[in-house]
Structure formats: C-alpha cells, structure tokens
Structure 1
C-alpha cells in the first residue's frame, strides 16, 4: 500500500494554481525582455540620429567654410588690397549692373527678414518656400533660380577666381582685346570641373581682370576676349605680362537652404551662374549638397575702417546682411568689401522621422541669436556654429 501510494503521488501533474503562477512569471520575464529590447532600440535610434546629424553638420560646415574662404581670391591679389583710385587691384569687363556678375562684390548676403539675433523662428515640418522677404531684396536672377528656397533662411552669394590657375604662355591681339595662350594639357585644370565655361580671370601680382571669353579654342589652347554679350562692350585697360600672368575660371555661386518635396526634407543647396564663351548668362540646376539642413543663419564681421582708405585689419563689428548693407549707404560695394569674417549657424535634423523622441524640457535650440521652435516630427535636431575668417582679406595682403 505504501509503495502504490508513493507511485501515484510521483505521477501527479501540475495543479491549476502552479500553472497560473508559472504563466505569470513567464509573462513578467517576457515583459522585461520586451522593455529592454524597446529601450535598446530607442537608444540605438537616438544614437543613429545624433550620428547622422553630426556627420551631415560636418559636411555642411566644411562645404561652406571651403567656399567662403575663397572670398576675395583673385590670383595673388585680393579684391580690397588697393582701393585708392590710382591703385585698383580688381577690374571687370562684365556688366556691373547685373548683381550675379558683380565680382567687385565677391560676397553678398541676403538676410531673411525677422531672423536677426533675438528673434524666435518657427520651423515647420513642411516649410513654405519661394518667399521674397529679404534685405537686401533678392535680385531677379537669383530669385528665379532658387525656386525651392526655404523661407526664413539666409542666403549667401560668392564670386571669386578658382584656386588653380594656368600660366599664360603667350599673348596675341592688342592690349585692349587680348588673346591668351596656355598649355593645352592644362585645359582640365582651367575648366575646374565645368564642361564649357566662358567666365575667366587673368591675374598677376599687381591686378586681376574678370571677363567673358568670346571664344575658347581647345586645339590651339587659347582664350580670346572681345566686346559684346556679357562684356558690356568694355575693353581691357590693364596689360599683363607673359611669365607673370595666370588664367583662372571665374566662379559665381549662391548657397541656400532648399526643400525637396520628394525626400520631404530640407538640404543645403548650391546654384552656379555661368555662361558659355560668347553666350548668355544662365543659372545651373539647384544642386543638393548636404541633407538635413533646416535653417541657415549668417552674421558678418566688418573691418573697423569703412571708408576708402585701406582696411585696418581689426574686425570689431558684426551684424546681419541688412546691417552691412546699411553701414555705408554711399558705397555699398565697399561695405561688403570690408567684410572680413562670416559666422555660420546651422540647424540640422536627422533624416529618419522616427530616429528620436522629442524630450520634454529639452534645452532651447539657439543659432546666431535666433531661437528655434521645432516641430514634433520625432527628428533629432541640433545647432552648430562656427566663424570663418576670410583669409584673402587679411590685413597686408
């Protein structure tokens, strides 16, 4: 009897209470695992979003810094080295009434009104585009080319000679309508990435002249200058010497924040203005450079001397494009020549809308004195700032 009783007890199954307790313990463990997984997934997305924001901000800053540092470059002289009437370092045969061709103003900012330091700017998940509320007003050529520009973001136009030049090997024609010859093997260097450019500059260490080529002969490796088209019937007034002069491609580009309806995100864009030899001025297609740029704010540092004497070398005032424009009403071109530094503020966002959770009580995002109110679209956002010295305008150059 005792053996049978012990056998029946050993074969007994789990009771209902024991089964329920086991299920509860299993559910608790599963919930804990799910919570750990969810937290890990959120941390991963947050880390990925932050990494993408930091990566894109580096690319955007590097791009803007590299381009802005070229301001004032016109061979081995700069655009404000000699500003007296008897010592003009920079000349242009181009139509000076067209702002896109105003190489005497190699930097020009356009301030989005209502975005000066101290203001609050609301960033929309789908921003409005195509506005004209800028100071100074956007020129028609730029306004028509930047069709996807984001309202409330600053715009900057840059004009300069490319860093790589080609020596002039011989010259023909007369002094007022020269023909420049160069080494044919250096043609790709001279073009610097463009297929058939027509805007060039010739420079030595005394002066530089920006012009449109009426013809470029790739067979004889020559660039011919003549009046007409963009040259506005002007002629060369400065002679250049073989062995001292170099040819460069002239660059005119505008950088801005544009919105891409397909990707549903804003990016840093560039539009280049150029012309074929003897052709009309044309704007290139908007080029997206870096994604995730929601807003661009710019401040400009000016030299202490704003009159016609040489710059002092002390950049001790800063302000918006509007402030620069109004600092010397009698000579706005010179006011922009006296810009020696540019401060950049970028509001960056992650590309994935689900990459981050908007935190309550997070620190306010402030760039160049502008406080941003951001949308609740679950994108990771951060502000990055830097100052760029215009090295070609350093005192003594």
Structure 2
C-alpha cells in the first residue's frame, strides 16, 4: 500500500503540465505582442520626429535665405555699378537665374516635364519650383578696426583678408562694385571707386527639389571648383518631395501685400514682390509596409493627387516677408 506522503511527492500530472505550458505560451505570446506593438509605436514616433525635423530645417533654411534676398551690404542692387574683372562662371544659369545678375535678386521658376530649369538645373523633380536668391552674407570684411581711424590704410584686413576663391561686393552707402577676390579690388581710399567701402561675400543660391530614390531639397551655389567660379550642387536635407511658392505683390507700394500669384503667372511684377508663401511636401525616408498614403495634399493653389504608396508625408508652410524688397518698393512709391 502506497503511503499519502509518497503520493504527494509523485510530481505533476500530464494535465497539470499541459495547463502550465499553455499558460506559459500565453504569457510569452502576450509579451511578444506587446514588444511588437511597442516597437512599431517607437518606429512610427521616430519616423514622424525625423520627418518633422527635416521639414523644419528645410523651411527655416530656405526662409532665412529668402529674407536676405536683395541685401548687398550698404547699397541697394540698383546702385551696384557693374562688375570689376569678373571671370565667366562655369555652368552658369541663364536668364534671371544668371549668377551675377544681381538686379534679379529674387526669382521663382518652374521646372519642366524633364526636370530642367534656368539653364543649370537638369536633375529636378518635374513641375516643382526653383527659388533663386542673390545677396551677400550678413557680415562684412573691413579696412581695419572701424573705431580706430588710424588703422585705415585702404586694405581690407578685418576680421580677415579677401579670399581669392570667392566673389565679393565692395559697398558704401552710395555705390558698390562686384568683384572676384583674386581679381582687381576696387579702391576704398578717398577718391577711389568705393570710398571707405566694406567687402561683403557675394552669394548665389537656387533652391530646388533634386530627383532620386529619396528626393532632396538641394541648391545650386556659386563656388570655387579648383579652376574658377562655377555653379555646383549642395544637398540641404533629404525627404523633401515638392516645393511650391506663391508670390506676393504690393500693387500700390504701401508696404502691404495686395495679392498672391502662382509662380508661373506672367503678370508678376518682380519689382513689386514683397512676400512669398513657401510650401514644402516632406515624406519619410523609409517605407511603412503597413500603411498606404491615400491623402491629397494642397500646396498653395495646387492640390496633388493621393500618392497611394507606403510613405508618410506632411506639408509645412512659411509666410516670408521680404524685408529688402519691401524697403525698395516703398522707396520708389
């Protein structure tokens, strides 16, 4: 006869073992499910954050440069007196997009069906806008320490000397000259071409959407290519899929925008443009196989059809007041 103590030490029955295994599998499945959901939530949050960060950076960069459009130091574009010994620019843009065409300091073009625009852009997303900006960097090179008249010797040397691989605008409040750093420098002495002038580094930028597996906000810039000044390409931020701009005109020159027009409108008077509405369509860098984008997107006066693909997208917008243009428009009322 088997004692009670021996029956109690006989271990688990098959049924008890199966129940324990089932409970264990249920708990493991729950943990796996929770992990998958958490990972997906984290991935979506990371994707959204990265997309938003790219959108903000792209919009802030473009908007900041637009606000500087037409700024040439101490002199308006109309008072720049031509070019001093400027060499030809390799791969220069054409028409209003020409790198040294400083009178056309702000302009927006539309790429054609082949992704081409302004003679120097051949790799853009078709039917997107190109924003051309000409200005100088907002800090000058001067003749010595400005509060020490004894340091004025007619040579630009503060806070650094001129760079032979850059282009500059020499300007005072009355006149200005654009010149190559390696070329003949306009005289800044008394009776010179630009008396007591400061040198400001000249900038040309043409923002556009560069086509590729992942589209990017890029820009054509004026830079040294080893032999001379040339138009080269810089990528600004990835994932920007479309760029559209509405052009604001001040018709009565009172400092207020009276109407907004599509960038292709032939009635635009660029001498009266005082603001722009900038729209960017930004997409995620990676596909989300569990998502289909069936939304339409409105950029200004244009509505884009639903992409029906696996990318997430957002639209960001900025209303940019063109400070220098406003001053010029009101000054010619």
TM-score by length of 2: 0.79
CA positional deviation for 1:44: 0.2
CA positional deviation for 1:168: 5.5
For the pair 1:196 / 2:196, whether they are aligned, the reply is no
> Which structure exhibits the higher relative contact order, with contacts defined as CA atoms closer than 8 Å and separated by 6 or more residues?
1
Q: Partner residue of 2:261? A: 319
Cα distance between partner residues in 1 of 2:263 and 2:155: 40
- How many corresponding residue pairs? 307
Change (3 A) 1:89 1:25: same
Counterpart secondary structure, 1:63 = helix
Q: Partner residue of 2:10? A: 12
Change (3 A) 1:241 1:159: closer
Cα distance between partner residues in 2 of 1:31 and 1:99: 62
Q: Partner residue of 1:67? A: 65
TM-score by length of 1: 0.67
Q: Partner residue of 2:155? A: 182
Cα distance between partner residues in 2 of 1:97 and 1:28: 71
**Cα-to-partner distance string for 1:100-128 (whole Å, 9 max, x where unaligned):** 121111011112469xxxxxxxxxxxxxx
Cα distance between partner residues in 2 of 1:380 and 1:368: 20
**Cα-to-partner distance string for 1:226-247 (whole Å, 9 max, x where unaligned):** xxxxxxxxxxxx975523x222
Cα distance between partner residues in 2 of 1:22 and 1:54: 48
Cα distance between partner residues in 2 of 1:139 and 1:282: 15
Change (3 A) 1:320 1:113: farther
Q: 2:286 aligns with which of 352, 361, 373?
A: 352
Is residue 103–residue 210 contact of structure 1 (8 Å, CA) maintained in 2? no
For the pair 1:153 / 2:128, whether they are aligned, the reply is yes
Unaligned runs of 5+ residues in structure 2 are: 89-93, 145-152
Give runs of ≥4 in structure 1 deviating > 6 Å. Answer: 94-98
Cα distance between partner residues in 2 of 1:357 and 1:349: 16
Is residue 186–residue 192 contact of structure 2 (8 Å, CA) maintained in 1? no
User: CA RMSD for the aligned pairs?
Assistant: 3.2
Cα distance between partner residues in 1 of 2:20 and 2:95: 85
**Cα-to-partner distance string for 1:158-212 (whole Å, 9 max, x where unaligned):** 112222223358xxxxxxxxxx942334445x54xxx612x33222223434345
Q: 1:283 aligns with which of 219, 231, 243?
A: 231
